[in-house]
Structure 1
Amino acid sequence: MKKLLVVGGGLIGIRHVRAVQAHPGCQLVGLADPDMAINVDVPRFNSMEDVDCRVDGVIIATPTHLHAEHGKAAAQRGWHMLIEKPVAASVPDAIALGRAIKSAGVASLVGHHRRYHTSVQRLKSCITNGEIGRIVTVSLLWAMRKPGEYFSQNWRTSGGSPVMINLVHDIDLLRFVFGEISDIVTIRGASERDGDRVESGAVSLAFESGATGTISFSDASASPWGFEAGTGENPNIGTTSQDMMWITGTKGAISYPSMAIWHGRDWGTPAQKSRTDDCANRIFPLEEQLNHFLNVMDGARPLIDVEDGARTLAVTTRIQDQLAAQPVRRFQDMRLETRD
């Protein structure tokens, strides 16, 4: 019976608490978070340093800028770790954390839980097996309107870019399915909210395979399109079951997450839908990730370790840095003008 500690009692931290509590193969020893007002009926610790019981593994779900510090502390205590995404606040921090983990001889897993979706695994299989030929283009859309209280008096007000909070998941998904990204070009969108936080934009990508991709994103626009909305994976985000990614190949195309698969020959013949695969999750991805973490603690190869997570972070950081370097623009009223 593995004994697990959760560090960080935010939205995702509490989801981890519930997952560990419900799992028959592990026991929750407590939650470490200085906010004692968090309403959970589990043993509480003010910090990791206060934990005085046996711990086999720790789930680190603290704000991103604390990941490396908390990961190093866990490594020093010999605890295997599952670290929420992004793996660290910077690539140098991630590299330093990887060295600490290697030196301590503990295992690591990064919380890019989308890799555990049945539909993502099926999509990767379709691409790898060449079911639609060589991949030519990938188009991804993530657009949601976050409520005002999401940014109210917390770190997200100035540092809560959807690139580092949300798109980091999409970047990891693209890397996992389509391979490494070799080049990036970005355009920053206008901001609706006060402050200089990046909130929308467009990204063009080149993959080492020769394929190209585009991402359009915003956390200030209401829409049914986004991974969470399309798959229904997040209880805090409304489910729409709409596609949010479209892939074209030399022999066909796929829309995701519906997994509608199309095949065609040339423009003179309409492409035909060949099938729509049933890819419903038999186990929730967060639970599947926990299953995998327990196996990683026993020596299994991690689906994504700190080194792999650092590569996702490197691409995401490049996107964020390019966007942040562009001037802040504001939306202007659009008025139709009549001409004589």
Structure 2
Amino acid sequence: MYLHRRQRRSPNWRISTVPVGAKTMKFLIAGLGSIGRRHLRNLRALGENDIILYRTHRSTLPEEELSGLPVETDLQAALAHKPDAVIVANPTALHLEVAIPAAQAGCHILLEKPISHSLARVDELERAAQGSGSRILVGFQFRFHPTLRQAAALLQEGRIGRVLSVRAHWGEYLPNWHPWEDFRQGYAARPDLGGGVVLTLCHPLDYLHWLVGKVETLWAMTAALHLNLPVEDTAEIGLRFANGALGSVHLDYNQRPPTHSLEIIGTEGTLRWDNRDGILHEYRAAENEWKIYSPPPAFERNEMFIEEMRHFLEVVRGAPPVCTLADGRYALQIALAAHESNRRGCAVRLTL
């Protein structure tokens, strides 16, 4: 699942139509909370309108934008419509209950992050996808952020030398995410739905793997410090990467104003990124100056989701996903290792 505020359309919101000659595709959306509805709007903006909804009718959002769409309350009945693709956007702990039957049916899948709350049935999903040819894109939308992509390119070019250390920080006040509902009842606050700050804000665990590499060892401390929730609201995670770099990740549900930032220190310079304005700063020691990379004019966060959905349409048509099920599994392994480290009070070694 993902968060939070209602979608706003920016002035340069790019609208695409279905490519000329492209096969019409049918989509099934499972889960109609904030992220499911964002995907619905983005599909429509990209010219895809053959959409079925699989619902439990537990959403706390208004019903108006869903009017006129076919609805099924039984998953097998929904899959009987033979959708080409399924978007899995229900609560984290329920993801695989939809994803596995969808993969068995041969549907291509956009699977929201984290892929599950445990590894228990991930092998089953992988076998189903391999058996049917289902392609799975995991919904880590920060892989589509333009300046994080720029950071990946700079690192690939060796612009700041060998990476020595990294720090990601994401703090955001949970009661402000969904002002229209009691935050204590949302998936992010409930252990039975796969909540807690480590799983819910696991994006840095994915993009650090993408940008820096595999994690060899981690330690973590987590705690419920402020919001009186049955899940952790704060986490500090230390990382040792297989390439020797060290890192840390701070996550919390408490910070006001919200902060989401990344710093990468190399032998020849530094990268600094701030989600607030989307700007990436690059310092190269040889030049003794900072260079600034800005996102496109009027960029806003839904552009990441639009690019993700545009890529998913390509995946459905045959392209390989840029964020695979294996990537989603690895991010989940890191998150679960953080919980294990906190529980045992020691460092945990990951399987590379």
Tell me which interval the TM-score lies in, with the shorter structure as reference length. 0.7 to 0.9
Q: Offset of 1:188 from its aligned partner?
A: 2.8
Q: C-alpha distance in 2, partners of 1:324/1:30? A: 42
Give the corresponding residue for 2:331.
312
Q: Secondary structure at the match of 2:248?
A: strand
Answering whether residue 291 of structure 2 is matched by residue 275 of structure 1, we say: yes
Q: C-alpha distance in 2, partners of 1:191/1:139? A: 22
After superposition, the Cα gap between the structure-2 partners of 1:201 and 1:108, relative to the gap in structure 1 and judged at 3 Å, is: closer
Q: C-alpha distance in 2, partners of 1:204/1:263? A: 26
> Aligned AA for 2:289?
K
After superposition, the Cα gap between the structure-2 partners of 1:161 and 1:190, relative to the gap in structure 1 and judged at 3 Å, is: closer
Structure 2: tracts of 5 or more residues without a match: 1-23, 346-352
Give the corresponding residue for 1:162.
197
Give the corresponding residue for 1:178.
212
Structure 1: tracts of 5 or more residues without a match: 227-243, 266-270, 327-340
Give the corresponding residue for 1:106.
134
Deviation string 1:123-148 (CA, Å, 9 cap, x unpaired) is 10111111011111111111111118
User: Among residues 17, 20, 34, which one is paired with 2:56 in the alignment?
Assistant: 34
Q: C-alpha distance in 1, partners of 2:229/2:259? A: 26
Give the corresponding residue for 1:13.
36
After superposition, the Cα gap between the structure-2 partners of 1:124 and 1:116, relative to the gap in structure 1 and judged at 3 Å, is: same
TM-score (norm 2): 0.80
After superposition, the Cα gap between the structure-2 partners of 1:78 and 1:113, relative to the gap in structure 1 and judged at 3 Å, is: same
Q: Secondary structure at the match of 1:2?
A: coil
Q: Offset of 1:158 from its aligned partner?
A: 3.6
Deviation string 1:251-300 (CA, Å, 9 cap, x unpaired) is 111110321111226xxxxx833310133359811111111111112221
TM-score (norm 1): 0.83
Q: Secondary structure at the match of 2:50?
A: strand
User: Among residues 49, 62, 83, which one is paired with 2:76 in the alignment?
Assistant: 49
Q: Secondary structure at the match of 2:121?
A: helix
Query: Are the equivalent residues in 1 in contact too, given 2:32–2:89 (CA < 8 A)?
Result: yes
Q: C-alpha distance in 2, partners of 1:119/1:85? A: 21
Question: Superposed, which structure 2 residues align to 1:234-273 within 5 Å?
Answer: 244-257=261-274, 258-264=279-285, 272-273=288-289
Query: Are the equivalent residues in 1 in contact too, given 2:30–2:86 (CA < 8 A)?
Result: yes
Deviation string 1:52-85 (CA, Å, 9 cap, x unpaired) is 4341111010111121121111122221111101
After superposition, the Cα gap between the structure-2 partners of 1:147 and 1:295, relative to the gap in structure 1 and judged at 3 Å, is: same
Answering whether residue 322 of structure 2 is matched by residue 295 of structure 1, we say: no
Q: Secondary structure at the match of 1:147?
A: helix
Q: Secondary structure at the match of 2:204?
A: helix
After superposition, the Cα gap between the structure-2 partners of 1:323 and 1:221, relative to the gap in structure 1 and judged at 3 Å, is: farther
Q: C-alpha distance in 2, partners of 1:116/1:18? A: 18
Give the corresponding residue for 2:162.
134
Q: Offset of 1:48 from its aligned partner?
A: 2.3
Q: C-alpha distance in 2, partners of 1:73/1:150? A: 32
Q: C-alpha distance in 2, partners of 1:154/1:296? A: 31
Q: Offset of 1:154 from its aligned partner?
A: 4.5
